[in-house]
Structure 1
Amino acid sequence: MKNPVLLLIIFTISGWIPAGFGQNQEIMTVKGPIPANQMGRSLIHEHLLVDFIGADKITATRWDRSAVVEKVRPFVAALPAMKIQTLVSCTPAYLGRDPELLRQLSEQTGIQILTNTGYYGAVDNAFLPAHAFSSSAETLAGIWTDEWKNGIGQTGIKPGFIKIGVNSGSLSKLHQKLIHAAGLTHKQTGLTIASHTGPFLPAKQQVALLKANGVHPSAFIWVHAQNESNMENYSTLAAEGAWISLDGVQPSNLQEYLEKLRYLREQGWLEQVLISHDAGWYRPGEEDGGHFRDFSTISTQFIPLLLKNGFTEEDINQLLVKNPANAFSVRKRIYTGN
């Protein structure tokens, strides 16, 4: 068994204290902070509204918030029956982020909801505001940090994590700037960085950039890691401390996700794995908000499949309770090693 005193000394020297050693860890929801141990069973990558109209055209007038609440509320209200207490909304700014919508849904359903700060550069920058191209990393970090300190716009609602996105190839200069800005924001706020990534190459490059800027990889969530075909690469970044997020669970791919989780458990990385659906969402411009994919597959199909294939209730608790609380706890994770 690992010596906890020795580990504490090592982590203290490196400047990084994991959640298990910390006191009074908090999660920031749209209704304010909660103790991390009250996060409960969580879905860490979902969407309630997304608008793909583009950063140059998007405006909150494109949707009627009351109509969105009416459409979306039943899907959120169904979560407690599945023992889900928290939903992490990964819709970023300029793609339909609406903190007041999330707060209304949280108040009406009792589900704890997180929103985010940051900018999304994936899909060839179609959802980046014009100023993101010319602003420095320091300027972008200032904007995101201000949302943490003062709330998003005039809402008073604070983000619970940083959401960025990059393309699937080698990082461009612009996307290097986004990860640099995210690292600077993390060092100011303690917010975790969730980066829409996909393949291993840009994930590895982002981790290297964060380390070079003094941010420990445990502050980084490799979003859409399920898109990486070589599972050995999961071990490479998990060994660095990064979070491996398999966040596209749906009925058609349960066997594939089962095999990925088997590998990660066999390799000893289950404590660094996150799972979710990447489901939803209300679509402005479509009749009645379009098709909404619900958030039930993990609870009703995937957990039973895991339990039938050698996973334990303790494993389920690790994936859906302990890991989300650890990943999204607000704390600065500083890297000082080589």
Structure 2
Amino acid sequence: MTVRGPVPVSQLGRALTHEHIVTDFLGAARWAGPRYDLEAAVTTVRPHLEALKERGVSALFECTPQYIGRGVRLLRQLAEATGVHLVTNTGYYGAAGYKYIPQHAYEESAEELAERWLREWREGIDGTGIRPGFIKLGTDRGALSPLHEKLLRAAARVHRRTGLTICGHTGDGVAAMDQLRILASEEVAPEAFVWVHAQNGTDADRIEAARRGAWISLDGYSLAPGVPERYLEALLALKSAGCWSRVLVSHDDGWAVEGESPRQAPLRLFGNGNPQPYRSLFERLLPDLRKAGCTEADLDQLLRANPARAFGIRVRKLHANST
């Protein structure tokens, strides 16, 4: 489900599954909507999406949730201008000490929160008619707190009614395994879950989660010292373990709103070690994988087949005979 409507998974093409367009770190208590000039933001971002399309990528999953800068009007305008399939989300980001959680999330039940997110699926986001294509959550390290657990249970109930994939920003392997445990208690299969930022876990964590059926998202790739080597080792370990069909890769690149002025704030690139957004996988990781023996079919699976399977909309219950 893209910001311009549904697209058959066979037509999605190569995809980056964890990127951002514009994020705003002001916090839920103060955020009241996009603080940038829409046309200026289009002018800033558009050339980078067009360059991405020239590199053979036709889809980008935009992982900025509500209350941390989600701006679906900007996404739709960029999608119309570039032809890139952009996919937005529903859900709340509970990491960073709950800074991006609205007050009502503390007070409402999991079922009430699920109903909020279901309305976005049924009616569209903020009166635009744009529907989310996945669910985005965020947790810190370690076992889930009661609030994190409630958000995850809400996401599980949305999944069971919509088939939307659940993407969980996750601090470490302990949190990832706890999320799989809670999803199982809600009868949601691991195949419905993307372990976002799985680079924060160990090879053993990643292989175990993949063998259970979860999607392993190595999505902070950059040219910062040591990062290319670490990602290459993690990917080859997953491949050697027979888990290549469960792996996703991305940069976590994008822009952020500068400062704390109420409106018309400038944009800055994330300072994550990439001089240009959405490029480093193609300039360094893919050549490194080829040198390590990966075939073009392997790379196509990583960028085309795996994203299509991970984000195709279908209900994935824990027991196959209950689907």
The alpha-carbon deviation at position 143 of structure 1 amounts to 0.5
Matched, 1:291 2:307: no
Query: What does 1:134-153 align with in structure 2 at a 5 Å threshold?
Result: 134-153=107-126
Partner secondary structure for residue 91 of structure 1: coil
Query: TM-score, length-normalised on structure 1?
Result: 0.89
Structure 2 CA distance for partners of 1:61 and 1:257, relative to 1, 3 Å: closer
* Structure 1: unaligned runs, 5 residues or longer: 1-27
Query: TM-score, length-normalised on structure 2?
Result: 0.93
- State percent identity of aligned pairs: 47
- Give the structure 1 partner of residue 228 of structure 2: 254
**One-letter amino acid matched to 1:290:** R
The alpha-carbon deviation at position 336 of structure 1 amounts to 2.7
Cα distance in structure 2, aligned partners of 1:278 and 1:152: 23
Cα distance in structure 2, aligned partners of 1:308 and 1:216: 35
**One-letter amino acid matched to 2:222:** Q
- Give the structure 1 partner of residue 135 of structure 2: 162
- Give the structure 2 partner of residue 241 of structure 1: 213
- Give the structure 2 partner of residue 113 of structure 1: 86
Of 293, 297, 319, the match for 1:310: 293
Structure 2 CA distance for partners of 1:205 and 1:61, relative to 1, 3 Å: closer
The alpha-carbon deviation at position 284 of structure 1 amounts to 4.1
With 252-261 and 186-195 compared, the bigger mean Cα shift is at 252-261
Matched, 1:279 2:253: yes
The alpha-carbon deviation at position 280 of structure 1 amounts to 1.2
With 290-299 and 200-209 compared, the bigger mean Cα shift is at 290-299
CA displacement 1:206-241 (0-9 Å, x = unmatched): 10110111100100000000011x211112111211
With 129-138 and 246-255 compared, the bigger mean Cα shift is at 246-255
- Give the structure 1 partner of residue 308 of structure 2: 325
Number of aligned residues: 309
With 299-308 and 98-107 compared, the bigger mean Cα shift is at 299-308
**One-letter amino acid matched to 2:98:** N
Cα distance in structure 2, aligned partners of 1:212 and 1:274: 25
Contact 1:120–1:165 (CA<8 Å) still a contact in 2? Answer: yes
Structure 2 CA distance for partners of 1:199 and 1:61, relative to 1, 3 Å: closer
- The ranges of structure 1 where at least 4 consecutive aligned residues each deviate by more than 4 angstroms after the TM superposition are none
The alpha-carbon deviation at position 291 of structure 1 amounts to 2.8
CA displacement 1:10-57 (0-9 Å, x = unmatched): xxxxxxxxxxxxxxxxxx000000000111110000001000000011
The alpha-carbon deviation at position 86 of structure 1 amounts to 0.3
Cα distance in structure 2, aligned partners of 1:266 and 1:61: 44
Cα distance in structure 2, aligned partners of 1:61 and 1:81: 29
Cα distance in structure 2, aligned partners of 1:323 and 1:93: 26
- Give the structure 2 partner of residue 47 of structure 1: 20
The alpha-carbon deviation at position 282 of structure 1 amounts to 3.7
Contact 2:159–2:165 (CA<8 Å) still a contact in 1? Answer: yes
Cα distance in structure 1, aligned partners of 2:11 and 2:214: 23
Cα distance in structure 1, aligned partners of 2:200 and 2:69: 24
Partner secondary structure for residue 131 of structure 1: helix
Contact 1:151–1:159 (CA<8 Å) still a contact in 2? Answer: yes
The alpha-carbon deviation at position 275 of structure 1 amounts to 0.3
- Give the structure 2 partner of residue 17 of structure 1: none
The alpha-carbon deviation at position 61 of structure 1 amounts to 5.0
Cα distance in structure 2, aligned partners of 1:39 and 1:297: 21
Cα distance in structure 2, aligned partners of 1:211 and 1:242: 12
Cα distance in structure 1, aligned partners of 2:175 and 2:200: 12
CA displacement 1:92-140 (0-9 Å, x = unmatched): 0000101110000000011100000000100010000110011100000
Partner secondary structure for residue 231 of structure 2: helix
* Structure 2: unaligned runs, 5 residues or longer: 271-275
